[in-house]
Amino acid sequence: MYTNIPKEYGGSGMSYLEHYIVTEALNYECPSIAQMITISHLATGAILLGATEEQKKKFIGDMTKSYRSSCFCLTEPEAGSDAAMMQTVAEKKGDGYVINGGKRYITNGKYADLLCLFATIDRSLGTKGICCFAIPRSTPGIEVVKVECV
């Protein structure tokens, strides 16, 4: 499933070109499956770009070992996909964060095992104050309140 994830994290190690050729072929046969795979790649892409080596091994390694899915949590009720208008806030508490806010229209959000959730840690920095948090589905406090189909 994770075609463009490097081999050291359990993926196939395909190049992005190879990955998109595979994705295009999947879209011809089953667009739904292709979409779910693409969303998982979008979410894990944020981890590959910005996480520490330890975090990559932990989150991406777990995903590839057990064929789990992930979702990209950016869109909000009052902001759409405009990150500059983000209302979700992450506040440092001890050695972790407490995140408050809501997301909307998150493809695969109800079923994903890992949420790559974007929240602001410093509003004064605008979009530069936004961080991505890799959050396992089993984390207390995560709630899907409505599934909307358009």
Asked if residues 64 and 53 have their Cβ atoms less than 8 Å apart, the reply is no
What pLDDT, on the 0 to 100 scale, is given for residue 16? Answer: 80
Question: Rounded to an integer, what distance in angstroms lies between the CA atom of residue 19 and that of residue 2?
Answer: 9
Each residue's pLDDT tens digit in the chain (150 positions)? 677 788 888 888 888 888 889 888 988 888 888 877 777 778 888 898 899 999 998 888 877 877 788 899 999 988 888 888 999 999 999 999 999 999 988 888 888 889 999 999 998 998 999 999 999 988 998 887 776 665
Asked if residues 40 and 32 have their Cβ atoms less than 8 Å apart, the reply is no
SS3 (DSSP) at 101: coil
What pLDDT, on the 0 to 100 scale, is given for residue 130? Answer: 95
**CA distances for 147 relative to 39, 40, 45, angstroms:** 17, 18, 25
What pLDDT, on the 0 to 100 scale, is given for residue 55? Answer: 92
What pLDDT, on the 0 to 100 scale, is given for residue 91? Answer: 97
DSSP 107-140: TTTTT-SEEEEEEES-GGGGGGGEEEEEEETTST
The structure tokens 């081999």 sit at 7
- The residue ranges of every structural domain in the chain are 7-136
Which is nearest to 107 in space by CA: 11, 43, 12, 25?
A: 43
What pLDDT, on the 0 to 100 scale, is given for residue 149? Answer: 64
SS3 (DSSP) at 20: helix
Q: Which residues does residue 136 pair with via DSSP β-bridges, in sequence order? A: 114
> H or E stretch including 104?
none
What pLDDT, on the 0 to 100 scale, is given for residue 1? Answer: 62
Q: What is the CATH number of domain 7-136?
A: 2.40.110.10
DSSP 40-97: HHHHHHHHHHHS-HHHIIIIIHHHHHTT--EEEE--BTTTBT-GGG---EEEEETTEE
What pLDDT, on the 0 to 100 scale, is given for residue 90? Answer: 97
